[in-house]
Structure 1
Amino acid sequence: MSRTCELTAKSVQYGNNVSHANNRTRRRFLPNLCHVTLISEALGQSFRLRVSAHALRSVEHRGGLDAFLVKADEKELSQRARLLKRQIAKKLLEAPVAA
């Protein structure tokens, strides 16, 4: 399993440890990934995703998984998240509009 957020595509970054003597050794900066269960109100289901803490805050700020996925760019989403986005969009189009 790759160390990549399923919603924002945040992944491992590389850099240097720099000592006091200015010696440089390679290191990795790992994203803060969490296993969370997010609920889709449109589909009426819960989904277990591996997302970064930053993405989790963004999901809550936008008002839930459905609202986040509707606005999200498909290039950043994982394959599972793209499938969810399409299912949610289809379900929202089917929903009757109250007049």
Structure 2
Amino acid sequence: MSAHCQLTGIGPVFGNNVSHSHRRTRRRWNPNIQPRRYWVPSEGRFIRLTLSTRAIKTIDKIGIDRALARIRARGEKI
């Protein structure tokens, strides 16, 4: 499963671990990605999405149909 959200497009962020002696090593912060299955009444089918937890809350707020419109506007195929 790739570490990017289908709704928001958020992906991993890169930076440095800095030790007490200030040695720097590369690291990455992955978003909290969760697989979810939603029923889409307008299409009469279930869809599977990989979403960040923030995107799950957004779908709860705006609804699955508006969220799908945003995903398709970004050019993602569902």
* TM-score, normalization by structure 2: 0.83
Bigger helix share: 1
> 2:2 and 2:59 mapped to 1: Cα distance?
21
> Which has more strand, going by share of residues?
2
Encode CA deviations 1:8-66: one digit per residue, 9 max, x unaligned. 1111110111112221110011111111101212112111111111110111011x210
CA–CA distance in structure 2, aligned partners of residues 69 and 46 of structure 1: 12
Identity of aligned residues (%): 34
Q: After the TM superposition, list the runs of 4 or more consecutive aligned residues in structure 1 that deviate by more than 6 angstroms.
A: none
Q: Partners in 2 of 1:30 and 1:57 — Cα distance?
A: 18
- Bigger radius of gyration, 1 or 2? 1
Q: Which runs of 5+ in 2 are unaligned?
A: none
Would you say how many aligned residue pairs link Structure 1 and Structure 2?
A: 77
